[in-house]
Amino acid sequence: MAGLVKVATLAREAAVYLAGRAEPLTVTLAGAPKTAAGAPSSGAAPGPGTAAGAAPARRVSFGTVPDFTYEGQGLRLTGVTPGSPAAAAGLQAGDIVTRVPDRAIGSLRDFSDVLKTLAPGQSVPVVFTRDGQERTVTVTLAGR
């Protein structure tokens, strides 16, 4: 029990410190990417035009809450964010996304990889299974 108290105390102190901090956090690790001005970056994912070999950043918001315990094919949802593109399209908890827009979705990683290729404002067909029936909706993606 004493160990849990120590962990909770440390977590509280860190949260209070970070919440009261006026200046933004920056990366100070050796080899961290630099901004155009030569200062360390904020740690955000690289955007378009980054160095060769860097993973592209996701530029769109879909609004789904994945089920991290699901081990089957596809991406099962535990919910959608209210007011999100997914909610507007009618997706809901329990749906299993299997294709976006024309790429098979076998896992959360597949879904994330597809989102990195899409642009804000783009409308894409999303194939999913609900109650054993395959359905298709069109989702208009929002910017992040």
What pLDDT digit, counting tens, does each position of 53-100 carry? 556 677 898 999 999 999 999 999 999 999 999 999 999 999 999 999
pLDDT over 90 percentage in the chain: 55
**C-alpha to C-alpha distances, 83 to 10, 63, 93, 122, 123, nearest whole angstrom:** 35, 8, 15, 17, 16
Residue that has been written with the tokens 């949802």 in this structure: 77
- Which is it for the CA torsion 78, 82, 83, 87, positive or negative? positive
In this predicted structure, what is the pLDDT of residue 32? Answer: 58
Domains by residue range for the chain, with CATH: 1-44 (no CATH), 60-143 (2.30.42.10)
Residue 5: which pLDDT band, with cuts at 50, 70 and 90? confident
pLDDT (average), residues 22-51: 55
In this predicted structure, what is the pLDDT of residue 48? Answer: 46
Strand partners, 59: none
pLDDT (average), residues 8-12: 81
In this predicted structure, what is the pLDDT of residue 49? Answer: 46
In this predicted structure, what is the pLDDT of residue 20? Answer: 77
Residue 13: which pLDDT band, with cuts at 50, 70 and 90? confident
Alpha helices in 21-141 (DSSP H): 85-89, 108-115
**Higher-scoring residue by pLDDT: 123, 9:** 123
pLDDT (average), residues 3-7: 81
pLDDT (average), residues 30-56: 52
Average pLDDT for the chain? 83
Rounded Cα distance between 25 and 66, Å, is: 28
